[in-house]
């Protein structure tokens, strides 16, 4: 039974018929073709653990929730404009979406991907991060380089397992460049100090707020 299929570097614009019948596939490499879309029956490959669709012409991805065993998704270098629905992808550990046209990381994505270890979404068009980014509590590597970020949610500092975070090439004018370029430890120290400062500030405001019932 076929478990590995590599049809990369073939200039394919459409996949061969019957792909959805290869239900025992564990690894599928479709990279370096010219695919504009994935067929709907891709979700029939329920044993798939690794899917490489990088370097194609994909503008979007179908809902991938049926691929419950998938651990690694590589969709770098496409034309993807928004994150797909990952609901059900409970085994997914690594997502690579660099060099696309994604504008936001959604709250739904953070809800669905709480088991994620690696998120590479560099070289996109992301402007803001959701406040519930802290739900990605198992994240170890987070690459946000070369986006359009102009602010960071304070909850980013709660990602305690982060070993690598990259923010270079954004519009973070309020963060000193020596912090951005200072590596993960420097950035996380800054983010955690922000949490402390803002909590203290909020506490002071609450303590000084007049009691309307007095």
Residue 198's pLDDT is what? 56
How many Å apart are CA 33 and CA 91, to the nearest integer? 27
Residue 206's pLDDT is what? 44
Residue 213's pLDDT is what? 39
Residue 176's pLDDT is what? 86
pLDDT tens digits for 126-142? 999 999 999 999 999 99
Residue 124: half-sphere exposure toward Cβ, Cα within 13 Å: 29
* pLDDT beneath 50: ranges in the chain: 199-209, 211-214
Residue 15's pLDDT is what? 92
Q: Look at residue 142 and give its three-state secondary structure.
A: strand
Reply yes or no on domain 4-208 having CATH 3.80.10.10. Answer: yes
Residue 142's pLDDT is what? 97
DSSP per position, 38-86: --GGGGG-TT--EEE--SS--S-----TT-TT--EEE--SS---S----
Residue 212's pLDDT is what? 45
pLDDT tens digits for 145-167? 999 999 888 889 899 999 999 99
Residue 187's pLDDT is what? 86
- The domain locations on the chain are 4-208
């Amino acid at each position: 039974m076929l478990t590995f299929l590599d049809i990369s570097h073939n200039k394919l614009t459409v996949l061969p018929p019957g792909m959805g019948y290869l239900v025992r596939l564990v690894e599928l490499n479709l990279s370096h073709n010219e695919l504009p879309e994935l067929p709907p029956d891709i979700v029939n490959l329920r044993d798939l653990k690794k899917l490489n669709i990088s370097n194609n012409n994909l503008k979007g991805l179908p809902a991938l929730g049926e691929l419950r065993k998938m651990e690694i998704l590589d969709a770098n270098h496409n034309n993807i404009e928004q994150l797909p629905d990952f609901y059900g992808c409970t085994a997914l550990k690594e997502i690579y979406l660099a060099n696309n046209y994604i504008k936001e990381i959604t709250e739904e994505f953070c809800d669905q991907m709480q088991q994620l270890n690696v998120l590479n979404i560099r070289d996109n068009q992301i402007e803001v991060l959701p406040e519930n980014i802290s739900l990605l509590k198992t994240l170890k590597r987070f690459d946000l380089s070369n986006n359009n970020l102009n602010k960071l949610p304070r909850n980013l500092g709660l990602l305690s397992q982060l070993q690598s975070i990259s923010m270079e090439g954004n519009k973070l004018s309020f963060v000193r460049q020596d912090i951005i370029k200072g590596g993960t430890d420097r950035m996380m120290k800054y983010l955690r100090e922000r949490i402390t400062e803002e909590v203290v500030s909020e506490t002071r405001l609450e303590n000084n707020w007049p009691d309307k019932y007095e």
